[in-house]
């Protein structure tokens, strides 16, 4: 089964090389960088690797859509620039998608830190996605390419496009949250504070589900790099 790994970027020079090295180890069909107009060395660094680069206006949803519609894989794996999946996790995803009728899914969340508050947060995030069906992009969402196109990809939202997309995906058929993890950087929690970041994220998700305008909610979510 062919997999296209799609990585949206915007000024990710500090971390993109490490992410690409890890992604290459899976030997996917392709890796596509969808950049939103980086002003640092993100594209220069990415250009040193065998990846396809697409440049579109900055909006993560639109960036991922642009890459997805050019992808050649059977499965689309959307990977944040500060996240990675280990080899066993990647192989489990491929195996599950080959042997089942799941339309897509995501991984459990792991945070790249040994701090116990973040370990608790990652466990609660996994519980949330498995039992409340609220799945975030840092869990590395994957989907069959045909299904992605049928539901018109990500809605053009400035924030919570991942929650919205997974709700649409679940309406198309069975989804899976793997026990294997997607590991994401702790930079946002370290940059903004664990307590503030956690409660801010919860508040944004709840308000989004209650119908508050994403444009308003996006003002609470600053870029931390």
Instruction: List, for residues 17-60, the tens digit of each pLDDT value.
Output: 999 999 999 999 999 999 999 999 999 999 999 999 999 999 99
Q: For residue 213, tell me if it sits in a domain.
A: no
Distances (CA, A) of 64 to 26, 36, 41, 198: 20, 10, 20, 25
Residue 78 covered by a domain: yes
CATH number where 119 lies: 3.90.550.10
pLDDT higher than threshold 80 for residue 127: yes
pLDDT at res. 161: 95
198 in any annotated domain: no
pLDDT score at 222: 58
Please give the backbone phi and psi of residue 53, each rounded to the nearest 5 degrees, phi first: -120, 125
> DSSP E strands: which ranges in the chain?
3-9, 30-35, 52-55, 75-78, 83-85, 104-111, 142-144, 175-184
Give pTM, 2 decimals: 0.94
Least confident of 12-21, 159-168, 203-212: 203-212
Segment among 10-24, 176-190, 197-211 with least mean pLDDT: 197-211
Domain containing 43 equals 3-185
Domain annotation covers residue 199 = no
Any domain includes 97 = yes
In a domain, 19, yes or no: yes
Q: What percent of the chain has pLDDT over 70?
A: 97
Per the domain annotation, does 207 fall within a domain? no
Q: Strands 83-85 and 30-35, how do they pair?
A: unpaired
Residue 202 included in any domain? no
Exposure string of 127-162, with b = 16+ CB inside 10 Å and e = fewer, is: ebbbeeebbbbbbbbbbbbebbeebebbbebbbbbb
For residues 204-218, give the mean pLDDT.
85
Model confidence at 224: pLDDT above 50:
no
**In the numeric block, which tokens belong to residue 112?**
């790249």
Beta bridge partners of 53: 33
| pLDDT of res. 122 | 93
Residue 158 DSSP code? S
Which of the four pLDDT bands, split at 50, 70 and 90, describes residue 225? very low
Number of domains in the chain: 1
């Amino acid at each position: 089964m062919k997999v296209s790994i799609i990585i949206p970027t915007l000024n990710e020079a500090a971390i993109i090389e490490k992410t690409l090295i890890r992604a290459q180890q899976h030997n996917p069909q392709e890796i596509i960088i969808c950049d939103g107009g980086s002003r640092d060395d993100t594209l220069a660094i990415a250009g040193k690797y065998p990846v396809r680069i697409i440049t579109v206006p900055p909006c993560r949803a639109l960036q991922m859509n642009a890459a997805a519609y050019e992808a050649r894989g059977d499965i689309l794996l959307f990977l944040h620039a500060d996240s990675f999946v280990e080899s066993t996790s990647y192989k489990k995803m491929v195996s599950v998608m080959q042997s089942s009728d799941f339309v897509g899914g995501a991984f459990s969340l792991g945070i790249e830190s040994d701090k116990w508050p973040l370990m608790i947060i990652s466990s609660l995030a996994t519980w949330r996605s498995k039992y409340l069906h609220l799945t975030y992009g840092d869990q590395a969402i994957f989907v069959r390419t045909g299904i992605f196109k049928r539901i018109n990809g990500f809605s053009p939202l400035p924030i919570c496009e991942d929650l919205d997309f997974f709700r649409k995906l679940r309406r198309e058929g069975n989804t899976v949250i793997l026990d294997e993890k997607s590991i994401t950087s702790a930079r946002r929690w370290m940059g903004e504070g664990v307590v503030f970041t956690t409660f801010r994220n919860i508040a944004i998700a709840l308000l989004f589900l209650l119908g508050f305008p994403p444009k308003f909610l996006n003002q609470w979510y600053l870029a931390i790099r």
